Chain A
Amino acid sequence: MYRLFRLTGKMLKNEFRQFETIFWSLLFPLVLFFILNAIFGGMNAQGFSLSMGVVKEEKLVGFGEVIDSILDEVSGSEGPFIITEYANTEDALESLRQGREEIVLVIPRATSAKLTAAMTMRTLDIGAAQLDIYQVSGKQSSEMAAGIMEQIINSVNLEIRKAQDQEYRAFSISTEGLATDNQSGYNYTIYIFPGVTIMLILAVALFNTPLGLVFFRTNGTNKKLYTTPIRPLEYFTSMFLNWLLTMVLGFVLLMLFASLFYGVGSEILNLRFLLSVFFSMVVLLSFGMMISSFATKLSTATVFGQVSMQVLMFLGGLYFPVFTLPWSIRWFVYILPTTYLVELQRRFIGQSVSPIPFYVLILVPVAWAVFSTTVFAANFKKVMGYE
Chain B
Amino acid sequence: MSDLRTFVTLIKSFTRESLRNKIELFFTVFFPLVFLVIFGLFFGGEAGFTLVPERVGLNFETERFASLFEELESMELWELRSFNDARSMAEAVADNSILIGVSIFEDELRFFFSEGDPGRVSRAEMTRAAMSSAIEASVNDVREIVRLEKKPVTAGVYVASGIDYIISGVVAISILSAGMFAVITVFGRYRKAGVLRRIKVTPVKPAVFIIGSTVVRFLLGFLAVIILVFSAQIMFGVGFQMNWVIFVISVSVSIFGMMAIGMVLVLLFKQPETAENAAGILMMLMMFLSGVYFPVIFLPGWLQIVARFLPVTYVARLVRFAAGIETMGSLTFLAVSATFVTAGVVSLAVVGRGLLRAE
Contact = CB atoms under 8 A, between A and B. Distances in A.
Contact of A35 (B49, B159, B284): B284
A171 interface: yes
A219 interface: no
B284 A153 contact: no
B137 interface: yes
Interface residues of B, number: 97
Contacts of B244: none
Nearest to B165: A138
B93 to A, nearest CB: 6
A186 B115 contact: yes
Given A133-B149, A161-B142, A176 B159 contact: no
B46 A326 contact: yes
Contacts of B22: 299, 303
A259 interface: no
A137 B156 CA distance: 10
B135 A171 contact: yes
A48 B112 CA distance: 24
A143 B49 contact: yes
B4 interface: no
Given A19-B273, A321-B116, A176 B47 contact: no
A149 B27 CA distance: 44
Interface stretch (A239-247, A282-290, A307-315, A365-373): A307-315
Interface string B140-175: 101111111111111110011110110000000000
A302 interface: yes
A256 interface: no
A43 B146 contact: no
Contacts of A24: 277
Contacts of A354: 94
Contacts of B34: 307, 310-311
B34 to A, nearest CB: 5
A183 interface: no
Interface in B18-59: 22-23, 26-27, 31, 34-35, 38-39, 41-42, 45-47, 49, 51
A161 B140 contact: yes
A156 B93 CA distance: 30
A135 interface: yes
A172 B103 CA distance: 12
B304 to A, nearest CB: 8
Interface in A117-151: 118-119, 122, 125, 128-141, 143-144, 146-151
Interface stretch (A8-16, A90-98, A379-387): A90-98
Contact of B297 (A48, A93, A353): A48
Contact of A174 (B111, B150, B164): B111
Interface in A33-77: 35-36, 38-40, 42-44, 46, 48-50, 66-67
A178 B143 contact: no
B13 interface: no
Contacts of B107: 169-172
B326 A151 contact: no
A97 B145 contact: no
17 contacts: A35-B288, A44-B122, A118-B145, A130-B146, A130-B149, A136-B152, A150-B130, A151-B129, A151-B130, A161-B140, A165-B140, A174-B110, A176-B111, A191-B115, A353-B114, A353-B117, A355-B95
Interface of B: 22-23, 26-27, 31, 34-35, 38-39, 41-42, 45-47, 49, 51, 90-91, 93-96, 107-122, 125-126, 128-130, 132-137, 139-140, 142-156, 159-162, 164-165, 271, 273-274, 277, 280-281, 284-285, 288-289, 294-301, 303, 317, 325-329
6 nearest A-B pairs in the assembled complex, by CB-CB distance? A353-B116, A141-B295, A186-B115, A154-B133, A128-B144, A138-B160
